[in-house]
């Protein structure tokens, strides 16, 4: 079966983007900073808005709003991944975002490069991101709210925080400032997202 992406100019989209072989490269604070820089760099050239985002050790969830008359999220993701991949560190990873540790033998980068596919080697791609990603066209306000809740509750679901406000790599605090959430939100899993799984 051939997968077809939904293209809607000016649309809102939910995305899940995963690291290559789910390696926790986003536990390195420098990599999280580099990812932020990559987003800013691409947004200057190809504008879009981010309503919600969370960066976890091996994946990212976010909601984008594209400009009117523009449905090209694919090029934006390609550019973000490329910009990030040029300088990210895959040779060290930490168990938690605030505790980066070196790998004992520091051989991961060469090992990952050796094990990558012939296709990646032929295109001179670093083994940093999975090529594909999950995208969902947001249908209405209720759908938007559910996906925003999913994004912000995700660190709790993964056992990385006891409440969303504890996780430093998400848009939760900005959403609290906008009045979209109370700072206490997420002490238990919202029923509206219990069946959702975009990992």
As averages over each run of 10 residues, the pLDDT of the chain (199 residues) reads 57 95 92 95 96 97 94 94 84 42 29 42 64 91 96 96 97 97 95 89
Long-range Cβ contact pairs of 140-148 (< 8 A, separation 24 or more): 144/12, 144/51, 144/63, 145/192, 146/192, 146/193, 146/196, 147/14, 147/52, 147/63, 148/51, 148/52, 148/63, 148/175, 148/180
Question: Which pLDDT value is given to residue 126?
Answer: 56
Q: Catalytic site residue 169? A: yes
Question: Which pLDDT value is given to residue 182?
Answer: 96
Q: Give the largest CA-CA distance in the chain.
A: 50
Quick check: 155 and 162 in contact, CB under 8 A? no
Question: Which pLDDT value is given to residue 5?
Answer: 54
Question: Which pLDDT value is given to residue 80?
Answer: 96
Catalytic hit among 20, 153, 169, 181: 169
Question: Which pLDDT value is given to residue 99?
Answer: 37
Q: Give the Cα separation of 99 and 28 in Å (integer).
A: 8
Q: What is the pTM of this model?
A: 0.80
Q: Give the Cα separation of 7 and 5 in Å (integer).
A: 6
């Amino acid at each position: 079966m051939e997968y077809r992406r939904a293209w809607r100019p000016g649309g809102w989209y939910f995305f899940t983007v995963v690291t290559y072989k789910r390696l926790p490269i986003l536990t390195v604070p420098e990599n999280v900073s580099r990812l932020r820089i990559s987003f800013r760099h691409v947004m200057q050239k190809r504008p879009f808005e981010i309503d919600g985002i969370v960066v976890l050790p091996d994946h990212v969830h976010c909601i984008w709003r594209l400009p009117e008359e523009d449905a090209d999220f694919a090029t934006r993701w390609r550019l973000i991944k490329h910009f990030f991949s040029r300088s990210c560190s895959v040779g060290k990873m930490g168990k938690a975002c605030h505790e980066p540790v070196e790998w004992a033998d520091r051989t991961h980068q060469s090992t990952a490069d050796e094990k990558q596919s012939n296709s990646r080697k032929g295109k001179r791609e670093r083994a940093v991101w999975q090529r594909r990603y999950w995208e969902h066209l947001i249908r209405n306000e209720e759908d938007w709210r559910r996906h925003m809740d999913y994004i912000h509750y995700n660190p709790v679901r993964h056992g990385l925080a006891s409440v969303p406000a504890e996780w430093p790599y998400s848009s939760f605090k900005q959403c609290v400032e906008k009045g979209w959430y109370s700072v206490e939100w997420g002490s238990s899993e919202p029923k509206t997202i219990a069946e959702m799984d975009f990992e």
